[in-house]
Chains A and B, each alone.
Chain A
Amino acid sequence: MTETDVKVVYKRPLGFTDLVTHYCPGCTHGVAHRLIAEVLEEMGELKNTIGVAPVGCAVFAYNYFNFDFVEAAHGRAPAMATGIKRTLPGKILFTYQGDGDLASMGMGEIVAAASRGEQITVIFINNTNYGMTGGQMAPTTLPGQKTSSSPLGRDVETQGYPIRTAELLATLDGAAFVARRTLHDARGIRMAKRAIRTAFEVQKQGLGFSMVELLSICPTNWGLSTTNARQWLAEHMLPYYPVGDFKVSTAVSEMKIGGN
């Protein structure tokens, strides 16, 4: 072998700025950011994309991506994306939302946007708590899970059951592609990237609303090390939130994805 055989198999994506993220060490928000940047780079859409940042841990997402971004009010990212997409139909629009933003404050917005079949892509991060404000109970918190606002564990008698957002949105006719993936291991991350690619292709080809739910870890608020948090996700979250494609419309199943 000579030095000319050396090739770069992985590098920081072009869709990132040089800033260091404010996320806690090990937080899979960074993985989700990277997958979005890689997918948009592969599709050649970096200059043609507008992201909508949520309220939550990802509130500063606009600092880390190298393309246009706007900031929405809490939970209202799908409504804002709808307005921008209808004004600028040639752009790729995506919202990046956590479970407090999407499944709690913005449940009305996301259901309405999906039922209208808006041509937007939603990346939904599910880490079973409100990360930014200190780990309070979210609609996605598992039964019995201890959080800072449910110190004895979530009691389903008084606090209800967790919402499976992907399954819920899959029942709506306007949704073209709804999937759930996990970010706790390399295999799951590779599958997540393919799902994100499909979701953006669905929008590019005008087939309807697309959403990818990504199961994430929150080591700080769960009080676990990164490694233990990933194991906790695999043991507790995957049985309740199974990975899979919950809605693939006929047009999407016949879709061709170039260069994949």
Chain B
Amino acid sequence: MPPKGWVEINELYCKACETCVTDCPTQTLAIDLSRLTPKGYHPAFMIHPENCTGCGICAVVCPDAAITVFRGVRPGTEKEGEDA
């Protein structure tokens, strides 16, 4: 079983540059066109949270240090289909 993880994107810092979306090896991230950050950008979000392995590449390439990466099972998501 591959390692599991999740990312939290601080929408105060995210500028929708899409660098994390392009570089994510598991296509976990996307730009959320339905919301705006306080700065007026569409923030990145986890469109496929089940794919995330917690590798941290998104955070390595993020120019605005907006991403926190966790490795492990996200609390409250042990059962499938219960994504927060």
Chain A residues with CB under 8 Å of chain B are: 1, 3, 5-13, 16, 20-21, 23-31, 34, 185-186, 189-190, 219, 225-227, 230
A-B contacts, 16 of them at CB < 8 A, read A8-B68, A9-B5, A9-B71, A11-B59, A20-B12, A20-B39, A21-B64, A24-B15, A26-B17, A27-B17, A190-B60, A219-B17, A226-B17, A226-B18, A230-B19, A230-B22
Residue of A nearest to B13 (CB): A20
Residue of B nearest to A23 (CB): B63
**Which 8 A-B residue pairings sit nearest by Cβ, starting from the closest?**
A26-B17, A30-B63, A6-B72, A25-B15, A10-B59, A25-B17, A10-B69, A10-B56
Instruction: Report the Cα distance A23→B64, complex, angstroms.
Output: 9
Find chain A residues with CB under 8 A from B63 CB. 23, 25-31, 34
* Most B-side CB within 10 Å, residue of A12, A16, A227: A12
Is there an interface contact between B73 and A1, defined as CB atoms closer than 8 Å? yes
Check if B75 is an interface residue, CB within 8 A of chain A.
yes
**Which residue of A9, A34, A219, A227 is within 8 Å of B65 (Cβ)?**
A34
Check if B49 is an interface residue, CB within 8 A of chain A.
no
With A9-B5, A9-B56, A30-B63 as known contacts, state yes or no: A3 contacts B41, CB within 8 Å: no
Find chain B residues with CB under 8 A from A30 CB. 62-65
Check if B29 is an interface residue, CB within 8 A of chain A.
no
Q: How many pairs of residues, A versus B, come closer than 8 Å at their CB atoms?
A: 94
Chain B proximity of A24: nearest CB distance (Å): 8
With A25-B16, A26-B63, A30-B64 as known contacts, state yes or no: A186 contacts B72, CB within 8 Å: no
Q: State the majority secondary structure of interface residues on A.
A: mixed
Find chain B residues with CB under 8 A from A226 CB. 17-19, 22
Find chain A residues with CB under 8 A from B15 CB. 24-26
Q: State the majority secondary structure of interface residues on B.
A: loop
Chain A proximity of B37: nearest CB distance (Å): 10
Instruction: Report the Cα distance A81→B62, complex, angstroms.
Output: 29
Given A24-B15, A226-B22, 14 more A-B residue pairs with CB atoms under 8 Å apart are A9-B5, A9-B69, A10-B60, A10-B67, A11-B69, A20-B13, A20-B39, A21-B64, A23-B64, A30-B62, A30-B65, A226-B17, A226-B19, A227-B19
Instruction: Report the Cα distance A27→B17, complex, angstroms.
Output: 8
Instruction: Report the Cα distance A38→B45, complex, angstroms.
Output: 24
Check if B61 is an interface residue, CB within 8 A of chain A.
yes
Instruction: Report the Cα distance A214→B69, complex, angstroms.
Output: 25
Residue of A nearest to B59 (CB): A10
**Which residue of A6, A185, A219 is within 8 Å of B61 (Cβ)?**
A185
With A5-B73, A6-B71, A11-B68 as known contacts, state yes or no: A31 contacts B56, CB within 8 Å: no
Find chain A residues with CB under 8 A from B74 CB. 6
With A1-B73, A9-B56 as known contacts, state yes or no: A186 contacts B61, CB within 8 Å: yes
